[in-house]
Amino acid sequence: MALCNRASPRLTAIGPLPPGQFSTLPPRYQATRPTRTHSRLRRAVKFGAFGLLFASLGFAAAATPLVPGLLDVTRYRSDEDSLRAFVPEDDEAREVDDFINHHPLAAKMRHNPDMIESRPHMRLPEALRRHNLTGGALLGPGRITVPPVCWTEKGGKSFVSISHLGTDMCGHPGIVHGGLLATMLDEGLARCCFGALPHNVGVTARLEINYKKPVQAGTYVVMRARTMRVEGRKAWVEGHLETLAANGEEPVILAQASALNITWHPSLSRHERNQLRGQRGFTMWLTGLSASGKSTVATALEQHLLHLGVAAYRLDGDNVRFGLNKDLGFSEKDRNENIRRIAEVAKLFADSSTVAITSFISPYRADRQVARELHAQAGQNNDDAIPFIEIFVDVPLEVAEQRDPKGLYKKARAGEIKDFTGISAPYEEPLSPEIIIRTDKSSVEECVAQIADWLIKEGLISTSKTT
């Protein structure tokens, strides 16, 4: 079979393939770069590492724009510019590049008005490309010799590419490593369906590969893919790698693959959500002894904010202990977990542009610091921060014990309740809370006004009622 595959005639020959293996090159073109001396252990480690990268990264070049902070599309070249961006730096690259660009398959693709030609890896800015797997680490002499030339049908219907695989990507001697082929199929099948998916991008959810024939190093391969079905965020794609055959010859299938690709759910940023709702979400964390007045103040504060037109919701023992945290007791370990869960829920409320008001004893500084840090972490992605406001409801123990509306202090003194905060378990006062209120010296209304004034001063709420 006369196949139109070749490698540089200046390279030294590998020699014949083992029996039963298929060569994609005519004998006079079965040539390679001089092999380097590697121990079997070093070779195994090298390609084992590649395998891990292939499995974890998927189509690295295609997914790069998904990385937060890299979505500035003005930094990416257009398809047309990507074709001019690559300049071969040596004779081998020039020969390979010339061969691909003047091959009849390339001419055929260019005559199809529905096919868009590009070199996708060259669309990446240099600063990103050098950290990219297929556009950086695997691209160059002895590897993927030149950036693959690709054609994508409008609407994400089909995909064709031509690549040259060098001699430093072997598994068995002279045979291209299957991990490299898997990565190429992963990228190609994903890239095929981009135009059919929302946002014109997706990630690989599942990839199945059937290796049919070994691929000799130093050869040209063609990838063909077609989008078979699209349902919302999902696209099913099938494709294969084949030899680059001469006119009139049938190509040989080297590997077949099928993939499921998905795109993410669209979502608003926290800043956009705050703007649309006309208010900012934040958490007010009331802490203090039992019977200090936390729940009373929290209830009045929630009502006050709602009257101002500010969406607010109160979390306390009545609506948390009997649902979300009904499996927890009052040991130190369970108290810690109780506060962690409450902090996560409060953060979700605040993230939705709702004011979360929590009223829990939360006796340990470390737990309250965990809650604060959870909120702080939410503001690290160039989005609006979620303010965390610690409010210390400060009353002396004797005042709280005198109030004792549920008789808990009396039971704790009698030894009927173990690990009761302030009696048989410690309460660690906040060291630097944003607000301190004294319910033994101020009325509930005065405490609420003190908190509201602080919120207005900080620009978190306004005095005018919203509708």
Residues catalogued as catalytic: 362
Tell me if residue 74 falls in helix, strand or coil. Answer: helix
CA atoms of 420 and 423, how far apart (whole Å): 6
Strand-strand pairing, 234-243 and 253-262: antiparallel
CA 82 to chain centre: 26
CA atoms of 135 and 141, how far apart (whole Å): 13
CA atoms of 362 and 114, how far apart (whole Å): 64
- Report in angstroms the alpha-carbon separations of 220 from 3, 23, 152, 283: 10, 11, 19, 60
Which residues fall within 8 angstroms of residue 56, CB to CB, at 6 or more apart? none
Give the number of other Cβ atoms within 10 Å of residue 187's Cβ.
28
DSSP category for residue 322: T
Tell me if residue 306 falls in helix, strand or coil. Answer: helix
Strand order across the 203-211 sheet:
115-118, 149-153, 158-165, 219-231, 234-243, 253-262, 203-211
DSSP category for residue 266: P
| Burial status of residue 315 (CB atoms within 10 A of its CB: 0-12, 13-18, 19 or more) | buried
Give the number of other Cβ atoms within 10 Å of residue 60's Cβ.
22
CA 45-46-50 angle, to 5 degrees, is 110
Backbone torsions φ then ψ of 26, nearest 5 degrees: -65, 155
Place of tokens 């082929």: 181
Residue 374 exposure: Cα atoms within 13 Å on the Cβ side? 22
Q: How far apart are the first and last CA of the chain?
A: 78
Nearest to 218 by CA among 14, 40, 43: 14
Contact 86/94 with Cβ under 8 angstroms?
no
Tell me if residue 100 falls in helix, strand or coil. Answer: helix
Contact 122/147 with Cβ under 8 angstroms?
yes
